[in-house]
Structure 1
Amino acid sequence: MAASAVGIITLVALVFAGPLAWAFATYVQSRRKAADGAAEAGTSEGQVDGKATEREEMSGVAYTLSLLGYAIGLGNLWRFPYLVGKWGGGAFIIAYLVCLFLVAIPAYLMEMVMGQYTRKSTVGCFKMIHPRWDGLAYGQALILLLVMAYYNVLLAYAIIYIAGSLVDPLPWAADSKNYFNVEVLNGYDDYKGKGLGPVQWKLALALLVVWLIVFASLAFGKKILTKVTWVTVVGPIIMLWVLLIRAVTLDGAADGIEFYLLKFDSEVLGDLDMWASACSQILFSLSPGFGTAITMSSYTRPKENVFRTCMVVVVCNSAFSLVGGFAIFSIVGNITFRLNAAGGVLDEATGAMVATTVAEQASAGTGLAFIAIADGMRAFGSGTNAMSVLFFSVLLTLGLDSTFCWAETFVCYVEDYCGRTKPAHWKIVGCICAVMYLMGLLYCTRMGIELLDIVDHYCITYYLLLAVALEAFMFTFDFGWRRLVVHVKLATLGNLRTPLGQDVVPSLFWRLGIHITMPAWCLFLFFYIFSTDVAEPYGGYPVWMQGIGWFCLAALLAVTPLGFARSLKLGTGSTLPPLEEDEAALAAALGIKSTLPPLGQNEESASAEGAKA
């Protein structure tokens, strides 16, 4: 193997593209301010309408980009395709879309509104709504620790592939599946008598690089993070379309797409395990239940239209997953085509070469995206190394966006907890990154990917379902639908696109989702998965590894009810302002801006009479 000049030049260009774009944008902005006197007329950072604010604020564009980066993550190209492959194509997509509308979208809007309304991170928000819910917030803080520890190891895989893209021929050119399983993971052939094994130095080094990037992006405030997010959100979208255009023209791509969209097994729709996977996937992607949407929304401007932002993020997130599926399965179809053209695959039972299918190749498990994209790079001919650098950089940046938001959320928890005595921001970020790196080393061992699967199942699948259900109860009994409607309208009055305020429509859909389908479906799946795992241990992993999963879940479940016990003992209650105050403020604002009737009627009748006026 020799160094690839094309690959190295591409990587160098990528490294400097962000800073150069940032410098150019800063230069243009400074010239514009100098020309129109914006420096004197504008609102200084940390102020709104001349009044000091308690929290650093993000612009509407920065807020939307942050949520897009948070939602569109590695799971869209890593987790989504392998679940489609596992559950046989179209049936999973139908379940995914049903769970999107009945569970994820209502939960996402609910969190965004609560965050903007309270102007606090998740812990502060839940305490303000009612102290009995602060245990749920601490559970979400704990799950962030568990997720960040293993999630960035996936980004370490991308770092290793980027490094491999700098040599010619590509180190996985002969066998992409073997490269991932042996060269990257160095996993055991069986679990019998094995522990986690030694830390793999390549993975440990790559993980260190990831956490250094996270530290550099978060340590110096949201202005730096905003500039980074521009690159890490826009870049993957562009590169996905490049990958898609090339992938669909490959030999055998049509077979992969047929499996992805047209293979439909109606019996699978009756499998509750598949529904649990679909629900956990969309919850993992949009991530209600993590508290991140609440914390990010607490930093947005008070006049931001979070309803519109919710719709934009939800549509873009799911579109990215679905479009990414076309690209991944086009490549899987090409892999199948080439294997069959070469004589098929070895049948271990008979020792003969037999034809393989897209379904068999799509069952590669959690490594499907890495294996498929790595193999697909061979289709770019002389541009193989350059495209390999670009596309594995896409996987890296997709994951970094989610990590940025999760880490920023946890940093906010720590800063809010410390109050006025908090250490410097960069010190808090540095300590969190160091702790997360040390925890992540557990997943850099020879059984690291098995441990990752265990923690992902017992913590993410379980706790996201429970957290979303409990948030629905909290909203129903202590925050209230009417407060959400009043706040959204009041926050958007006078905006260019919503001069009379944003109505939350259709009301029936949102109320049905938040009050009924979201909690009922999530709790049903939670108890179903629990009973299934008790009857048959998950994944066939060793008993000691199952124990780690159950222990992590037990810790999350133990933290959650603490707030209930404490609030009963202290007799504390909600510190939300009375709903009547919000309604009076909205009535006063409406009286100035239009001839809408006094508040007290429901939002539909108010909107109708406002239209007549």
Structure 2
Amino acid sequence: MAGADGGRKSPVDVPSMTLQERKCRITQLRDLFIFWHWNMWNTETNDTASSYTVTAPLAEEDAKIGRTEAEHKFRNRETWSGKFEFFLSCLGYCVGFGNIWRFPFLVYRNGGGAFLIPYIIFLSLCGIPLVLMEMAMGQFSSLTAIHLFGKFSPLFKGVGYSMAIISFFVCIYYNTIMSWVIYYLYSSFSWVLPWTVCDPAWASAKCFALNHTAHPINLSLTNVTLVRNNGESSVGLDKEDRMQIPASEEFWNRHVLRLSTGIDETGSLRPELLLCLAIAWISVFLCSFKGIRASGKVVYVTATCPFIMLIVLLIRGCTLPGAMQGIWLFLCPDFSRLKDFHVWIDAAMQIFYAMAPGWGGLLSFASYNDFHVNVYRYGVAIPIVNFFTSMLCGFSVFSVVGFLAHQSDTPVDHVVAQGPGLTFIAYPEALSQLPFAPAWAVLFFLTLFTIGIDSQFGMFETFLSAICDEFRFLRKYRGTFTALSCLVLFLLGMICVTEGGMYWVQIIDWYCAFMTLMIICIVECVLIGYIYGADRFRRDIALMIGHPICAFWSISWKYLTLATIASILFFNFYFQTPIVYEGYVFPKWSVAVGWTLAVSSSLPIPIYAVWKLSRSPEATLLRRISANIRCRPEYGPLLSVNRQAYLKDLALCPPNFPARRRPEEDDLSAEGEPLSPVFPLVQSTAILIPQPQR
């Protein structure tokens, strides 16, 4: 019977709600209002997917409720001014000193053309899939390493920290190599190249100039006499067996480096190299302090000039006598070398150093892309272009090395050197034999400088962007933070420009990155293949580029790439060889320092995982892992216009989310805070909200 209240139910008839349920209901209404309001704002301001200013999250608390513009409209995040800037930046980042001095020597030492077989196999199984994976993750989320993994898999946020630490360590010694290049570039501006003469200020009694008239050399240990018309070389002999040493080698070891007898004798600072190191860091600062908007313009010069210069050097080299012999020895296949497992390890290691998967740089660069850039095209094209660039470097180097062997009447294998020796001894010595030698020397070292500055900027930007995105208050002070970072890295790099600096460069280069890179890539494959879902990740890529990609990539990420990387890591440890430089065996304490660097760059992964699990409110360990290993609801496209399409795709083909737990646990986040249910709410209502009329 209706009462005086007109038939309305008494308050006592309404089912009571707990305080937690009321909070969740209020949060739902708030999220729905914010989503609709900013959809209207987004339409009125014509914020389309082609916009080049993308807003970033304002705070972690706001990010939990959906990542639309409502939460972060006051924070802007830069993007590339054009697709070509992104392509050139990635290409310049991948093409580094290793393409010049490491790849050609590895090809020559490991069977010539036969070495290309394992290299192409690892390029197909590891290089391209990993590059595509990291680029797609960065572009899809518009986040850099630390922030991305914090949302993609909170348990493995330490992967982002490891990427930043690796880039930080490598920046220390990479600019030391830049300082050597700058010093040689400065020395090339002379009518007489300093490494062509034996200057009494630094030359020993064994020094000889290659372009001087030769006389017989008696080698007491081997009882062999070498006679040539225009000079002699004993490059292929041990130092203690030599009667004479080329001026280019003496200039490098006794003048530029003033190399001490071992890492135990650090010696004094080299003032010239210290000044060149300062110039290198000033150059990096000028490229970085304004962000990618400024550096994107720089790469038009620094990323294109090396290709032009390498082609010029190759054309000139091919016109020299002996050039074809050098190129033939570079490519001549020796298939018997494929039986040696070290050949396969060298090929795999070169992929990770040349293609840069696991470093975080490609991920960071792609995060500045527009959402609908064809990341699939660039993810495949950049590794392939990098491979052909390495081949171009090999042809350029060995054409000149063949000429040097012809001029010195020495076998090519006595001329070829690994690493810095090829770049700072053999190649400059060959250039000194050309007409207008100073001009060719300037061209060569200018090529090295442009190659190095791009790679150094990429690693430094990876570190900067990861830290600035994680600690957002630093964005206001990016210039100051960039300057302080350059200063700290400059001070840390001072040990590398001492008389024992070369040994420290070898230690950092040998230990700091490779093991951690393997671990990072394994974690990425596991997360994509088995936690997030390889097919779901392919749908994300299809959402960005407008068409599906081949199912091969799912198979690769889940099985082929993962198994290949795990095998490389295992066999690399099994066949581990001690570090040696020019016959010098490093003492045990220096090897311990190297392993400390290797472990320190990978420690953030387990440390952060343990810390995250310890803070999780779930009752059991398995529930804590399940709650923290999967992506957060706020992971996804940044702009709401792209997020709507993403949520629609999820509604049509929803992922497997963690099973429902106890009621008191359902509404708690990993941090124990009330969890906004905006994700399922918006998933079911976002595409139904009417858009306001203009």
TM-score bin, normalised by smaller chain: 0.7 to 0.9
Report the CA distance between 1:331 and its aligned residue.
Answer: 1.2
Structure 2 residue runs without a partner (length 5+): 1-47, 56-67, 197-208, 210-246, 617-623, 656-694
Q: Can you list the C-alpha shifts for 1:476-525, whole angstroms capped at 9, x where unaligned?
A: 23332223222222212xxxxxxxx23323x22x2333222322222222
Q: Confirm or deny that 1:177 pairs with 2:200.
A: no
CA distance in 2, matches of 1:523, 1:599: 32
The 3 A distance-change label for structure 1 pair 416 and 90 is same
Question: Do 1:469 and 1:519's aligned partners in 2 also have CA atoms closer than 8 Å?
Answer: yes
- The secondary structure found in structure 2 opposite 1:172 is helix
Q: CA deviation at 1:229?
A: 0.8
C-alpha distance in 1, partners of 2:555/2:653? 23
- For residues 192 and 325 of structure 2, the distance between their equivalents in structure 1, rounded to whole angstroms, comes to 28
Q: Distance in 1 between matches of 2:97 and 2:636?
A: 40
Indicate how the Cα distance of structure 1 residues 583 and 478 shifts in structure 2: closer, same or farther if over 3 A, else same: farther
Q: Which amino acid aligns with 1:284?
A: Y
CA contact (8 A) 1:62 1:226 kept: yes
Q: Confirm or deny: 8 A CA contact 1:483 1:579 kept in the other structure.
A: no
- Equivalences for residues 371-390 of structure 1 within 5 A: 371-382=425-436, 384-390=437-443
Shift of 1:66: 1.0
Query: Is residue 302 of structure 1 aligned with residue 302 of structure 2?
Result: no
User: CA offsets per residue over residues 156-177 of structure 1, 9 Å max, x none?
Assistant: 1110111111111111223333
- Alpha-carbon shift at residue 94 of structure 1 (Å): 2.5
Question: CA offset at residue 471 of structure 1?
Answer: 1.5
Q: Counterpart in 2 of 1:455?
A: 508
- Compare CA radii of gyration and give the structure with the larger one: 2
Q: Give 2:393's aligned residue.
A: 324
- Relative to structure 1, the CA distance from residue 417 to residue 248 in structure 2 (aligned partners, 3 Å threshold; closer, same or farther) is same
Once structures 1 and 2 are overlaid, which stretch shifts more, 366-375 or 144-153?
Answer: 366-375
| Comparing 132-141 and 109-118, the one that deviates more | 132-141
Q: 1:245 is matched by which residue type in structure 2?
A: I
- DSSP-derived class of the 1:207 partner: helix
Conservation of the 8 A alpha-carbon contact between 2:108 and 2:331: no
Name the CA distance, whole Å, in 1 between partners of 2:369 and 2:450. 23
**Map of 2:106 onto structure 1:** 83
Pick from 153, 156, 181 the counterpart of residue 176 of structure 2.
153
CA shift digits 1:256-302 (9 cap, x unpaired):
11111014152x32333332222121211111111111111111111
Matching of residue 290 in structure 1 with residue 290 in structure 2? no
Alignment correspondent of 2:444: 391
Give ranges in structure 1 of 5+ residues lacking alignment.
1-40, 341-355, 493-500, 591-597, 602-613
Counterpart of 2:79, as a letter, is E
Q: Does the Cα contact within 8 Å between 1:473 and 1:519 map onto a contact in 2? A: yes
Distance 1:557 1:583, change over 3 A: closer
Residues 237-259 of structure 1 deviation map (CA, whole Å, 9 limit, x = unaligned): 11110001011221111221111
Partners of 1:43 and 1:292 lie apart in 2 by 23
Q: Do structure 1's residue 370 and structure 2's residue 427 form an aligned pair?
A: no
Structure 1 range deviating more: 109-118 or 553-562: 553-562
Instruction: Please give the per-residue CA displacement for 1:49-96, whole angstroms capped at 9, x wherever unaligned.
Output: x97674211121211111111112222112212333443433333222
The verdict on how the C-alpha distance between 1:309 and 1:104 changes in structure 2, with shifts beyond 3 A counting, is: same
Asked whether the 8 Å contact 1:136–1:561 carries over to 2, the reply is no
Distance change (3 Å), C-alpha of 1:46 and 1:587 = closer
Q: Is it true that 1:424 corresponds to 2:431 in the alignment?
A: no
- Distance in 1 (alpha carbons) for counterparts of 2:473 and 2:635: 28
Structure 2: how far apart are the matches of 1:450 and 1:303?
A: 46
State the Cα distance separating 1:396 from its structure 2 match: 0.5
Name 2:26's counterpart in structure 1.
Answer: none
Give the TM-score normalised by structure 2: 0.71
Aligned mate of 2:323, from 239, 248, 253: 253
Equivalent pairs counted in the alignment come to 524
Cα separation, partners in 2 of 1:448 and 1:92, compared to 1, 3 Å: farther
Residues 85 and 441 of structure 1: is their aligned pair in 2 closer, same or farther, counting only changes over 3 Å?
farther
Give the superposed CA RMSD. 2.9
What is the 5 A alignment of 1:32-47?
46=53
Q: Give the aligned partner of residue 273 of structure 1.
A: 342
1:308 Cα offset (Å): 0.8
Distance in 1 (CA, whole Å) between partners of 2:635 and 2:295 is 36
Q: 1:185 to 1:274 in 2, by over 3 A?
A: farther
Separation in structure 1 between the aligned mates of residue 515 and residue 311 of structure 2, nearest angstrom = 34
CA distance 1:121–1:43, change in 2 (3 Å): closer
Matched, 1:575 2:632: yes
* 2:430 counterpart of 1:358: no
Conservation of the 8 A alpha-carbon contact between 2:525 and 2:558: yes
* Aligned equivalent of 1:222: 292
Pairing 1:445-524 to 2, within 5 Å after superposition: 445-492=498-545, 501-505=546-550, 507-508=551-552, 510-524=553-567
1:547-601 alpha-carbon deviations (Å, 9 max, x no partner): 21111112123222123212322245321458999998369699xxxxxxx7689
Q: Give the conservation status (yes or no) of the 8 Å contact 2:151–2:632.
A: yes
Aligned residue identity for 2:167: L
Letter in 1 for 2:268: P
Q: 1:81·1:369 contact (CA, 8 Å) conserved in 2?
A: no
- The answer to whether the aligner puts 1:548 opposite 2:593 as a matched pair is yes
2:671 is aligned to: none
User: Retained in 2: the 8 A contact 1:86–1:363?
Assistant: no
Q: Which residue of 2 aligns with 1:408?
A: 461
Q: Give secondary structure in 2 for the equivalent of 1:236.
A: helix
Check the 8 A contact 1:118/1:128 in 2, yes or no: no
CA contact (8 A) 2:141 2:635 kept: no
Does structure 2 conserve the Cα–Cα contact (< 8 Å) formed by 1:284 and 1:460? no
Give the Å deviation of 1:181: 2.4
1:105-158 CA deviation, whole Å, 9 max, x = no partner? 100000001111121110111111111111222112111111010111111111
After TM superposition, the score normalised by the length of structure 1 is 0.79
- Change beyond 3 A, Cα 1:456–1:47: closer
Equivalent residues of 1:259, 1:359 under 8 A apart? no
Match for 1:451: what amino acid?
W
Q: CA deviation at 1:46?
A: 2.1
Q: Secondary structure at the match of 2:608?
A: helix
Which residue of the partner structure matches residue 196 of structure 1? 266
Instruction: Give the Å deviation of 1:47.
Output: 5.2
